[in-house]
């Protein structure tokens, strides 16, 4: 409840600050799908800092952004007859920026936690994730969440991992605004472990020779796209696109391309 109150206060403060500065809020009323189709552009919000494999700058083509969520965004845009344009914002500001009207939807590893539903509506789930523990290569004695008692553990702010860790007794939790800081702190021995979603752990834990992922994933959940409460027609169109991508194999092909396809995706109709 304390975290929910803080989140509510943050959003209200953010919106109030926008009004006080006299900034004009983009027109977001009316039929959201028609508005986007008329403009010919779907604006999607995401963070690209430490964004592998979600969305990040292509090292071979600076200024171009790639990742499995970039592929999903472009497929959704194609389905509704427009082009997708990325709007880059910090991860922990995506929901307030969505409310402000900075973009049409937020697509960036957003977990379907209950506290965000106060402010936004969710799409159908498009990926099943779980939590993964990462430690330094030489670490022994940490194999599951119970082994984290008495340890210092880092994670990303506003995530399901943060919720889980804060409920665990005797864990010192370090919250970071960006993914990369948690792994940097682990490498520098400022914390004993990192707990984050499986695609993140695969990209930053398994790929680093000085780190290792340990134990079985736990705390399963879903990634969803976030929408403003009033944008019903856009939500319905995106849900249709997601369903089609699941049925015609597009989603499977995207996940295989990025090495994140697994048996858990069958729980949401991806095979």
Q: Which two tokens stand for residue 259?
A: 């090495």
Highest average pLDDT, of 12-16, 25-29, 210-214, comes from 210-214
**Both 119 and 135 in a single domain?**
no
pLDDT-based confidence at residue 22 (cuts at 50, 70, 90): very low
Report the percent of the chain where pLDDT is more than 70. Answer: 89
Q: What is the pLDDT of residues 131-151, one digit of tens each?
A: 999 999 999 999 999 999 999
**Both 39 and 102 in a single domain?**
yes
**Both 188 and 245 in a single domain?**
no
**Both 26 and 116 in a single domain?**
yes
Closest residue by Cα to residue 261 from 161, 133, 128: 128
- CA 50 – CA 63 distance, rounded (Å): 15
**Do the bridges between strand 41-46 and strand 172-176 make them parallel or antiparallel, or are there none, so unpaired?**
unpaired
**Both 173 and 240 in a single domain?**
no
* pLDDT tops 90 at residue 222: yes
Tell me if 5 is assigned to some domain. Answer: no
pLDDT-based confidence at residue 30 (cuts at 50, 70, 90): low
**Both 143 and 116 in a single domain?**
no
**Both 68 and 194 in a single domain?**
no
The alpha carbon torsion through 165, 52, 84, 121 (nearest 10 deg) reads -10
Q: What's the number of domains the chain is made of?
A: 2
Summary mean pLDDT of the chain: 91
pLDDT-based confidence at residue 114 (cuts at 50, 70, 90): confident
Which residue range(s) make up the domain with 197? 128-220
Looking at per-residue pLDDT, the higher value among 22 and 269 belongs to 269
Segment 60-70 mean pLDDT: 97
- CA 40 – CA 106 distance, rounded (Å): 18
CATH of the domain at 229: 3.40.190.10
**Both 135 and 110 in a single domain?**
no
- CA 79 – CA 236 distance, rounded (Å): 12
**Both 207 and 91 in a single domain?**
no
**Both 64 and 97 in a single domain?**
yes
- CA 178 – CA 175 distance, rounded (Å): 9
Residue-level pLDDT at 257: 97
């Amino acid at each position: 409840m304390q975290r929910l109150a803080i989140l509510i206060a943050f959003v209200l403060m953010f919106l109030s600050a926008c009004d006080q500065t006299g900034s004009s809020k983009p027109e977001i009323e009316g039929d959201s799908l028609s508005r986007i189709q008329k403009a010919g552009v779907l604006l999607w919000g995401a963070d690209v800092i430490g964004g592998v494999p979600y969305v990040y700058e292509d090292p071979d083509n600076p200024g171009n952004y790639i990742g499995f969520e970039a592929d999903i965004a472009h497929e959704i845009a194609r389905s509704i007859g427009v082009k997708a344009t990325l709007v880059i914002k910090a991860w922990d500001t995506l929901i307030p920026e969505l409310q402000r009207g900075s973009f049409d939807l937020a697509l960036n590893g957003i977990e379907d936690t209950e506290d965000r539903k106060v402010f936004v509506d969710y799409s159908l789930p498009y990926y099943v994730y779980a939590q993964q523990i990462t430690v330094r290569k030489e670490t022994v004695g940490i194999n599951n969440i119970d082994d984290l008692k008495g340890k210092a553990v880092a994670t990303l702010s506003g995530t399901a991992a943060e919720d889980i860790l804060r409920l665990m007794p005797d864990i010192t939790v370090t919250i970071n605004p960006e993914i990369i800081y948690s792994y940097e702190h682990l490498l520098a021995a400022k914390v004993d472990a990192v707990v984050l979603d499986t695609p993140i752990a695969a990209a930053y834990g398994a790929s680093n020779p000085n780190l290792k992922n340990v134990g079985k994933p736990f705390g399963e959940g879903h990634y969803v796209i976030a929408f403003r409460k009033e944008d019903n027609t856009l939500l319905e169109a995106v849900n249709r696109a997601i369903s089609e991508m699941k049925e015609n194999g597009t989603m499977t092909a995207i996940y295989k391309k990025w090495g994140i396809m697994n048996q858990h995706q069958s729980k949401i109709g991806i095979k």
